[in-house]
Structure 1
């Protein structure tokens, strides 16, 4: 069996939406491969759709941070993370994870999120009005992609939107591989300290929002602060990158853009295809709690398995012609939002935001175009969440 000395991370030149080419070869030849992690740990890499899905759906593989080795290079990759603090449920297993998840699931149901649709459409329209007033050119990240999820999650949680810029800066720092470990911890602490004060205020004087609602639960202040930190960070960064990178993909695939603009009813299929095709949360990890046989090999207890979501979502065994971006594709079953007990809690909210964002943007500005050459769009190669740092666009005013 081949032993990979590092995880392939270099994307092909001129193809900003495609995973590293080496991942496709690995998936075809050895979808379960040995991998040397940055800290020297010898674990595994899975690249096929069926194997990634099997690992994330198997309770014998743990999501606990203190058991994981980090597969991506970065300041935290040379040491194992500490145990998750109370409330940071994405880094826990059952039954601890179950307690938090059960408390929050009812707050993010399909029905509840769809009730937000009118407000999200209003938010999108307000940003488009501002773009129209200011005129071209503009950075779509700052003018549109960031404000929609930021305003939505701030209103949902009861966090003042006036503070969103500092949250977004801190969220980007946490996911940035070029930041030092000290800078990442400082960013997390800054958000936690802010939310700690907000939680105290909500307990003293509740308002009509999710954080106030959760103060009536059995969560301690520490738990509620960490739950709020998690929801705020996830709500700010991921959907903003999907809107910006998704628009970049549409602008560089004019046939797909025209199809969506001419038939907004395709938006749900387009969203699922964008989630699959872009795979912005591209790499995950799990640690074996016991010896597990997988694909003819034994993964020993304590070994970490790196999960290449981007390779799994381009697996031709699951998605025919997987490297083609096709908004008419039935892309259900992609793994961009996870699978099993850790499937993304806010996935319906993200869909509501994208459902509002893409058709409204294309309808308001039918001549929307990139204002730089595609190769000059600055990409977020140094982050756990892939995307663009800026997306310069213009249109006929």
Structure 2
């Protein structure tokens, strides 16, 4: 997933005062075009919701309840929501767990800024990124049936410092471990973070490793080069993340990095493992698209968004990349959720129409969509061709 709301003043101050902020990223070469002919027609995209603000991330329960965030970058009125389907009526967007928890409500302990959320059983976990570490980063779990706060963890400052960006996360199958990407757009010190729910402990791994660092490409999405003021490129570190069904391998990558990586979760859990040893155990899997959203299915297929070509790509276990779907309607495919019934849900955050854009112009781009399509359709077409 991408970063949350960027204060322009904060950018200017950090850019002027911190050598850690990387400037430019201007490279004459374009990011490699790995797209191919799509297996599915764009008509396979089903509209799940049309929204007044761009959605960020999404989590779909086993009962097909749809929870999502409005992307903080757009300054939404509601940050965390549920799409409630009422028979015979239009779908309703309802604040989750309620309005009092939303940013700016005045409630003690209310959310600061949430981009990513994940489900574990009936627990909806929210990752409050604290506005790029200006406030403490937190994980909060709510019961999806009654909205009760079940658990909360506040990360130490050395785990998520100022300028960090707690971007996206995955939960181990047993619910004990959480794996979080620190995209660190502003501080440019990207890393992975591990949270041990049982021990109530957390730690950074692969801090500033080449495996979590942004590539030297300027993202260009639907014709817009993603730079601010002509000098600062919107190019965060490690962003996309996925965990295999067994909880054995964690897959991850920065948006503009050319490689997809994976590492054994057992190695991430081992506090005694030296930095160099852990980094040497990270496996480079080969080329990928310019990726934000990421997911993996039970057979090991990794699903990647392709921002520059408005597409969804599948990486098969043998490394083959297949373009599943391409459509101009996929305006910055961002958050992925793989549902139990075989649908892949995709949020379109349209960040190229949000970041650095006047608010009135951004709102004029509404509605913003959540889509889904059934992965089984691609298999049917492949089998028919065979």
The TM-score, its normalising length taken from structure 1, stands at: 0.28
Tell which structure's C-alpha radius of gyration is larger.
Answer: 1
Q: State the structure with bigger RCO (CA 8 A, min sep 6), 1 or 2.
A: 1
The TM-score, its normalising length taken from structure 2, stands at: 0.28
Higher helix share: 1
Higher strand share: 2
